[in-house]
Amino acid sequence: MLHTINAGTMAVVLDETRTKILLHLRRDHQKWGLPGGSVDFGETFEQAVIREVEEETGYTIKVNRVFGAFSNPEHFVFSYPDGNKVQGFMLGFECSVIGGEAITSNSESLDVQWFPLDDMPENLFENHKTVIDGYLTADTFILD
């Protein structure tokens, strides 16, 4: 079993009316979550979030702003089905869709949907719910 530290991204992507949020059903955990993931070697955080959102959802996005930094081990230690554990050091990005279309399924996602902010799925990652709630209620940069 490996324990590693990982730099990553999370994208809050709202629809044009700002009433729905983009989530994907992760193949590895079969839970809904924000699109995002690891920063590859030689890549910036912005490049990583753009790439990850497209890989996981099919949408092309633009980054509007960074809204938070997340590293609290109570929320950001991930256990994978293979037993490996990762502590994520994540930047949260507010993003907008500029193209593409939702995928139906691929190696990372089983489904992609827009959910009303007041009616998100029950099997949403708890730490992603924390990020979403922080994004929606914080009036300053979030540091968790």
Q: State the pLDDT at residue 114.
A: 98
C-alpha span between 142 and 13 (Å, rounded): 17
Per-residue model confidence as pLDDT tens digits over 95-139 = 999 999 999 889 889 999 999 999 999 999 999 999 999 999 988
Residue labelled with tokens 């590293």: 71
pLDDT tens by residue, 21-56: 999 999 988 999 999 999 999 999 999 999 999 999
Q: Distance between CA atoms of 135 and 21, rounded to whole angstroms?
A: 12
> In terms of Cα–Cα distance, which of 33, 29, 117 is closest to 81?
29
CA dist list (Å): 10 to 29, 62, 82, 96: 17, 13, 22, 13
DSSP string, 52-71: HHHHHHSEEEEEEEEEEEE-
Residue 15: what pLDDT? Answer: 96
Rounded CA separation 29/66 (Å): 26
User: Which residue type does 70 have?
Assistant: F
- DSSP letters, 11-53, are EEEB-TTSSEEEEEEETTT--EE-S--BPPTT--HHHHHHHHH
- pLDDT for 46 equals 97
Domains of the chain (ranges; CATH) run 3-143 (3.90.79.10)
